[in-house]
Amino acid sequence: MSDLAGNPYASIVELSKAYRNKSISPSEVTKAQLARIDALDTKLGSYQTIYSDKALAAAKVADEAFTKDSPLGPFHGIPFALKDIYELKGQITTCGSYEMRQRISTETGTVVRRLLEAGGIAIGKTKTVECALGGWGTNEHMGTPWNPWDLEYPRVPGGSSSGSGVAVASGLAGCATGSDTGGSVRLPAAYCGLTGLKVSKACLPTDGIMPLSQTLDTPGPMTRNMPDLALMVSVMKGIDGRKIEIDIMNGDGLFNIQMNIFKGLKFGIIDQKERSRCNDDILKSYDASLNLLVDLGAELEVFTSPIAYDDMAQFNGAITMYEGYRNHRHLYDDPGKSMDQNVKKRMLVGRNITPEKHADLLSKRQDHQLIFKNAMADFDALITPTIIDPAPKLDEIDEDFTPGYFTRPFNYIDMSALALPTAYSSNDLPTSLQIIVPAGQEDYVIQMGTALESALALNKQPNLTP
């Protein structure tokens, strides 16, 4: 077996290149991945379902394609995980609900179909907060994944894409899908030390993804580095594999590291009120990253939001819970069906919001989007922390409090936001910042994230020994 196959943290871009030069095969990588899942996931609990036989069969087909020099593109033969709200025809999709543990999907959505048609190997479904409604990552009935950065004490993995975050951070998947309604890609990415992209609403289709909020839901990629994120989101967008391959080979497009990209750019940074929300480790890494951006040529200026972050988070939550209740009332309203008690409390909030109030929230949101856009007109991007403190212990969290203080506002405003690991806390937990750009500028934020990641030069993984 190639050394690369035995490296659970190998970049999927590196794997793709190795497949091309035949130094490694998709079957070797898939077998190694399945063996690692078997060895570690009993404790970590990141997967809901494993597709061992199907994954190995798909890997064998990919082997043959590379033998014949006819791969479908750079994602061919790459094992990936699906958050268990993504429909895959003929397979169980639970949406994190004990009551739906035998529910068989009758369709495959566009994003999943693109990943499969690009030759990706679905290795399994990852756990999620029930109904994808919760930022800490807990699930009362189906299990809470274990954040791999602390094997002694259970800490929050982040939610709702909790299993995807833990699987990718632990080397149990090369990459994974998540979804983001108020931070559900970015929070687990931040707590688990990953890159995660919240796209703007029009960027990716949501068909075949069990809904929480039709207004706010967005699919998104979760990876261990920026080139991998660029590859995965390109496939999710349906970009032709040959173009992606050429860009990777030539270092063009999203795979071109432009270290001069920050020269002359003006970034909005958080004010003293927002800084007071954050713990010392978060501020230390945030400030170090800002200093690095200045060294790279950026200009920084305090950005005071014209709508309070608290208010935007609250409005986003209200829209989410109103629509979430109506999407999942079949579980909430039936006293004979079990539901996570924390999720049930959030559903109750949504049940008590009237249609008139919901319509008012949506109208107010449109006004706020215009106000925010105008306030940001002189800035190229905003830079905020992603989380206010590194992953807390599970027994110390308040489920009535959202960790999405810095994430929810940008779903509400509909911007694109990238979560990027920046450093490690005093007790060795990941810290993270967000780069936020206007809707439709996903490529731009990926290019900025790629350059900043290169400058930060982090190279650390959780200490896991099968």
* C-alpha pair distances (Å), 386 with each of 14, 84, 410: 28, 24, 11
Comparing C-alpha atoms, which of 281, 322, 296 is closest to residue 431? 281
Comparing C-alpha atoms, which of 196, 201, 175, 199 is closest to residue 186? 196
> Which one of the listed residues 184, 416, 425, 432 is annotated catalytic?
184
Residue 83 designated active-site: yes
Do 167 and 188 touch, CB atoms closer than 8 A? no
Do 89 and 132 touch, CB atoms closer than 8 A? no
> Which one of the listed residues 83, 125, 127, 198 is annotated catalytic?
83
How far apart (Å, rounded) are the C-alpha atoms in residues 167 and 171?
A: 6
Q: Which two tokens stand for residue 230?
A: 């660029």
Do 462 and 148 touch, CB atoms closer than 8 A? yes
In the block, residue with structure tokens 């905003």: 382
How far apart (Å, rounded) are the C-alpha atoms in residues 27 and 23?
A: 12
Q: Strands 218-223 and 299-302: what pairing?
A: unpaired
Q: Is the dihedral of CA 253, 254, 258, 263 positive or negative?
A: positive
Residue 184 designated active-site: yes
Could you please report the per-residue DSSP string of 15-31?
Answer: HHHHHHTTSS-HHHHHH
| Burial of 293 per CB tally in 10 Å (0-12, 13-18, 19+) | buried
Crossing angle of helices 226-236 and 12-20, rounded to 10°: 80
3-state secondary structure of 48: strand
Residue 416 designated active-site: no
Contacts of 64 (CB under 8 A, 6+ apart): none
Do 166 and 157 touch, CB atoms closer than 8 A? yes
> Which one of the listed residues 11, 160, 234, 285 is annotated catalytic?
160
Q: Supply the residues annotated as catalytic.
A: 83, 160, 184
